[in-house]
Structure 1
């Protein structure tokens, strides 16, 4: 039996292999601006806001949050420290060792890291997807994912569409 976490890991790896087309009810949002921008397709019902290094995307009911942030390698630890502080302030507690899976692609490397965690004493879903281009000088991307277990299941299809559009953006470079 494949658990939701295992399904996500497999889905994330597959999503970055597939060239998913834009959804009919999605808006195109730029994550990494510039001469070679990275954009994703976000379901219309989801809320999008700009943050320091990219965008925050969340469901209307606040059950799923995604942060897509571009960074330089030297900024990675600072970015993780900011996330750890945010999650601590929110009451999220990591309750075990992380699990990680890394997959190499022709133009980038993908690493998915999951953390067993709780929020308000109940299980919560906390994972990171790091996309590191192999071309020198290009910015890396960290996709941070926080969801309730129910929201993780309810919005799995929408999340996969977002990741498929991200894969298409990277594969199209």
Structure 2
């Protein structure tokens, strides 16, 4: 009887340790402020910093950058102009026509726009996700994604978890 209890306690200790590890693998950040904020989990290894309209998250090796920027519709063109100036300053060049698709969800509309681009003469990944809530007065969110092709592949599963976490946050509103 004692051996069974010892095994159970050992298994419980392992489960608690694993759960504790999972909590340590992610940090909760708010990406849309306000009365109904939107918060997501980011991998602990990612560096997070505040920016003018939200947060910047990047991998420790700087291969993937994500910006989460909350804005009002009237600020959209200003936001895009700031991004264009930033990317131009970094040496990113758009080398073709963007492709865009829009998906309608129950609580928001998602528009994904991809730009064929180069950085230092080599291909780079440049993508925007625009989240437009259907509720009147809610702030919009622009998620900008910039990655090296190798970083895009290496961190794909982490980025997908981040975006799925974001979608769940909006769906839960």
| Cα distance, 1:58 vs structure 2 | 0.1
Question: RMSD of aligned C-alpha atoms?
Answer: 1.1
Question: How many aligned positions are there?
Answer: 152
- How many Å separate the matches in 2 of 1:142 and 1:83? 11
1:90-169 superposed matches below 5 A: 90-169=90-169
Structure 1 residue 48 and structure 2 residue 44: aligned? no
SS at match of 1:151: helix
- How many Å separate the matches in 1 of 2:120 and 2:137? 41
SS at match of 2:77: helix
Deviations 1:114-172 (A, max 9, x none): 00000000000000000000111100000000000000000000001110110111001
SS at match of 2:96: coil
| Cα distance, 1:34 vs structure 2 | 2.1
Question: What stretches of structure 1 of length at least 5 have no aligned partner?
Answer: 1-21
| Cα distance, 1:24 vs structure 2 | 6.1
Which structure features the higher share of helix residues? 2
- How many Å separate the matches in 2 of 1:24 and 1:157? 18
Structure-1-length-normalised TM-score? 0.86
Structure-2-length-normalised TM-score? 0.86
Q: Which has the higher contact order (CA 8 A, sep 6+)?
A: 1
- How many Å separate the matches in 2 of 1:85 and 1:40? 28
Structure 1 residue 59 and structure 2 residue 82: aligned? no
The structure with more radius of gyration = 2
SS at match of 1:50: strand
